[in-house]
Structure 1
Amino acid sequence: MHRIRLDNTVFEGLNNVYVLDDGPELVLIDAGVALPEVHEQLTEELAALGHDVADVDRVLLTHWHSDHAGLAGAIQSASGATIHVHEADAPLVAGDEASLLEERDLQAEKFREWGMPDDRREELSEFLGDHMDLGGEPCEATPFVDGDRFEVNGRTLEAVHLPGHAAGLTAFHDAGADEAFVGDAILPKYTPNVGGADVRVDDPLGSYVASLLALIDLDPGVAWPGHRDRIDDPAGRAATILRHHVERTRNVVDVLRREGPSTPWAVSAALFGDLHGIHVLHGPGEAYAHLDHLADHGVAERDGTRYALVDDDPDVASLFPDPGIDRVVEWEG
C-alpha cells in the first residue's frame, strides 16, 4: 500500500489517497479535490509508482465531500474505473440534480434555523458557489451498504458505515492486516465537524457518537485517515474525541446559562469567535449539533431559532455513553 498526499488549500489540509497495487488490480481509496493542479499531482504521483490514471480499476470513496471524491469522475473518464460509494452519498457523487438541489435547499433551511445573519448567509452562499467546481465531473457511482466486502488483491476490505461527519461516511476495514481506512471518521489533529459538514445527517452528534463507539469496538491496530498521518491507537483517538464532545457540550451549557436563550449562530460566536470561509458553515453547524443533542435529552428546549436550558445544572456526562477506555490520544508534532 502506498499513500499519496494531495494538495488542498480550501478545506482541512493535505488529502490522503491510498494506492492498493500489490496485485493485478490498481485500486484507490479516495480521489482528492477536482483542481487541475491536484489532478496533475495525482498523475505524477501515480507515475512515480509505475502507474497511469488510465490503469485505475476501482475507487473506493470514504464519503462524498469534494476533497475526497472530486477527482473520481475524471479518473473514471480516463480509465473506466468503477466508483464505489455508500448508498447515502452515491446520488451526490453521481451528480443527481434532484439530490444536489435537495441538499442545497436543506442547507438554506438550516442557515435560517441556526439564526445566521443575512449578510453572513450571503457570504457563505457565495463561498460555496465559488467552490462548486471542486466536486468535479459527475460519474457513474456504484452504491454499497454497511457490511459489503471488497476483494482487492488478496485482501478483504469490509465497509463499516460511520455516519456523523457525512451521511455516507464509511471506513474500509482489513481484519487480516489489522488496519482500517477511516476517511474523516477520526483525524489525528482536528475533530471532524458534525452538524455543518453534511446537513442531511439526522441527530448529527448522536450519530457521530455511535460511530465513535463502533470504531472503538472495531479496534483496528492502525487507522489511515483522510488527512495527515496514520493513527496508531484508533480506539484511543475515538475515545478522546468522544470525551472532547462531552466537554464541548458543557461549554454550550455554560453559554446558555450565561446568555440565556440563544441561536446556534450566537452559541457558535461565543465558542469560536468570528468565522470566515467554510467555517461559517462548520461553526454554527457544530453548535447546532450540540444544542440538538441537549434538546433530544430534555436538557434544553427549542423555541423557533433559539434554545434555552430546561435544567440549569445538568449532568452532561450522563448524556453520553462511556467509551469504555481511558486512553488519551492527542495529536503531537
Structure 2
Amino acid sequence: MTQVTEHGGGVWSLRVPIPDNPLGHTLVHVLDTDRGPVLVDTGWDDPASWDELTGGLDALGLSVREVHGVVITHHHPDHHGLSGRVREESGAWIAMHAADTAVVRRTRESEPGTWFDYLARKLAAVGAPEDHIAPLRAARAAGRMRTLPGLRSALPDREIVPGELLDLAGRRLRAIWTPGHTPGHVCLHLEEEHPSRLPGHGRLFSGDHLLPGISPHIGLYEDPDESPKLSTSFEQGGPPSETDPLGDYLDSLERIGRLGVAEVLPAHQHAFTDAAGRVRELLDHHEERLTGLLALLATPLTPWQLAERMEWNRPWEQIPYGSRNIAVSEAEAHVRRLVKLGRAEPVPGTAPVTYVAV
C-alpha cells in the first residue's frame, strides 16, 4: 500500500511499520505549521520503522531535521518509540499529557527487574497458573530484562493541557483528554474547516481511542509501585487501587461523540467519518461484553478464569503468551467496572480473589 496519504489542508499520514505485530503499522500524521512540520506520534523504535518514517518525510519533500515538534497521543512504544530519535536529529520539542509523562518517568527510573517482579506478582494474584508465570521468573533470573520495549522512552519537553490549544503557529489544534487506553491518552481536535468541506466540526487525530474497526485494549493502568501491596490487597478481597480504566474510556468516548467532527484520523487502519456512529458501536460493544461477563460470573471466577472464558478473536489455546497477559488485564478492567457499578463483588477470603455477580 502507498506509504504516504494526503488528507488535504496540510495534513498527511505516513505508514510506519510495527515489527512482528498484527496491527502492521502506526499512522504517523504530519501537520504543516508556520514554523515547520509537526508530527502526531512517531512509530516504533526500530531501524526499519525509522527508515519508513524518514522515507515518508522525504517523499513529502521534507527532512526529519526540519521537524518542529512532536505531539504524542499516548506513551505506548508504537506511538512514542521514535520520538527521542526525532528530537536528536531535529531539536524538536516533544509534548505529552502529564499522566503519561509520569508513566514514562516511572518506567525509566524503575529497575527493569521491577517490572518482571510486578507482572509475576500481579499474574499470581489474579489466578494465573504457575506454568504461565515461570517464564517471567526465568527471564528475570537470566538477566533478560532490558528487552522490554519502552524502558528508556524519551521524556517530553512540554505538557499537553486538556482543553487548551497547542502552540502551533497558524493552526488550531485543541487537546482533549481521553483516558482509558492509557491514563494520559489525548485526542487532538483540529478546529479548522474540513478541506473537502465535509459536514461537521473539523478533524480529530484520535490515536488509539477511536479506531474504525478495532476496539482498543482497555486494561488496568499498570504501576510497579503497587507490587509490595498487591498480594495483601487481593487477599483482603479487593483490587490494589480504585482506578476504573473502562469507566474512563466510556466517559471519554461520549465526550468525543459530542464533538461532531467531520472526519477522524486514527493511528491505525484508516481515516473515517461518522465518529458518533462509531462511538455508539463501541459503547454498545462494551455493554454487551459486560452483560456477558455477568452471566459468566454466576459462578465465582478469578480474572484469569474469566479471561479463559471470554470471547476473543481466536480460541484461548491459540492466544500467544504475551497476548494472554493483555487479555487478563482487559478482563480485570471489565471486572473493576462491574464492581464499580455494583453488579459484581469480590468473594471474601478467596486467594487468588474470585468475583461473583450480584
**TM superposition score category, shorter chain reference:** 0.7 to 0.9
Q: Secondary structure at the match of 2:163?
A: coil
Counterparts of residues 275-294 of structure 1 (less than 5 Å): 275-294=319-338
Pair 96,290 (structure 1): closer, same or farther in 2 beyond 3 Å: closer
C-alpha displacement at 1:120, in angstroms?
1.8
User: Which residue number in structure 1 is paired with residue 306 of structure 2?
Assistant: 267
Give the drift of 1:240: 0.6
User: 1:17 touches 1:31 (CA, 8 Å); kept in 2?
Assistant: yes
1:1-333 alignment, distance < 5 Å: 1-11=11-21, 12-21=23-32, 23-93=34-104, 97-98=108-109, 107-123=119-135, 129=145, 131-133=147-149, 137-177=153-193, 178-195=202-219, 198-199=221-222, 202-257=243-298, 260-271=299-310, 272=312, 273-274=316-317, 275-303=319-347, 304-311=351-358
The TM-score with structure 2 as length reference comes to 0.78
Q: How far did 1:195 drift? A: 1.1
Give structure 2 stretches of 5+ with no counterpart.
1-10, 194-201, 224-241
Q: Tell me the TM-score normalised to structure 1 length.
A: 0.84
- The Cα RMSD (Å) is 2.6
CA drift at 1:266: 0.8
Shift, 1:147, TM fit: 1.3
- Cα deviation 1:210-235 (Å, max 9, x = unaligned): 11111112221111111010121112
- Measured against aligned partners, the alpha-carbon deviations of 1:40-70 in whole angstroms (never above 9, x if no partner) come to 1111111111111111110000000000000
Matched residue, 1:314? none
Aligned partner letter, 1:84: A
Evaluate the alpha carbon distance shift between residue 124 and residue 4 of structure 1 in structure 2; reply closer, same or farther with a 3 A threshold.
farther
Deviation at 1:9, TM superposition (A): 3.3
Paired residues of 1:25 and 1:152 also in contact (CA < 8 A): no
Rounded to whole Å, the distance in 2 between the matches of 1:136 and 1:96 is 8
Identity of aligned residues (%): 31
Is residue 17–residue 30 contact of structure 1 (8 Å, CA) maintained in 2?
A: yes
Confirm or deny: 8 A CA contact 2:207 2:266 kept in the other structure. Answer: yes
Shift of 1:137: 4.8
Question: How far apart, CA to CA, are the structure 2 residues paired with 1:140 and 1:162?
Answer: 19
* Residue aligned with 1:210, SS: helix
- Please name the residue that 2:8 is paired with: none
Per-residue Cα deviation, 1:284-316 (whole angstroms, up to 9, x for no partner): 1111111111112222111343333343xxxxx
2:95 and 2:156 in contact (8 A); partners too: no
Are the aligned partners of 2:203 and 2:261 in contact in 1 as well (CA < 8 Å)?
yes
Taking a change above 3 Å as real, the CA distance of residues 186 and 124 of structure 1, as seen in their structure-2 partners, is: farther
Cα deviation 1:124-179 (Å, max 9, x = unaligned)? 68599575246665344322221121143422111100000101100010122311
Query: Is the 8 Å Cα contact of residues 32 and 69 (structure 1) preserved in structure 2?
Result: yes
Deviation at 1:276, TM superposition (A): 1.3
1:19–1:277 Cα change, 3 Å: farther
Structure 1: give runs of 5+ residues left out of the alignment. 312-333
Query: Which entry has the higher C-alpha Rg, 1 or 2?
Result: 2
**Equivalent residue for 2:228?**
none
Q: Is the 8 A contact 2:247 2:337 kept in 1?
A: yes
| Deviation, structure 1 residue 91 | 3.5
**Equivalent position SS for 1:4:** strand
CA distance in 2, matches of 1:228, 1:131: 27
- The answer to whether the Cα contact below 8 Å between 1:6 and 1:17 also exists between their aligned partners in 2 is yes
Any idea what SS the aligned residue of 1:44 has?
helix
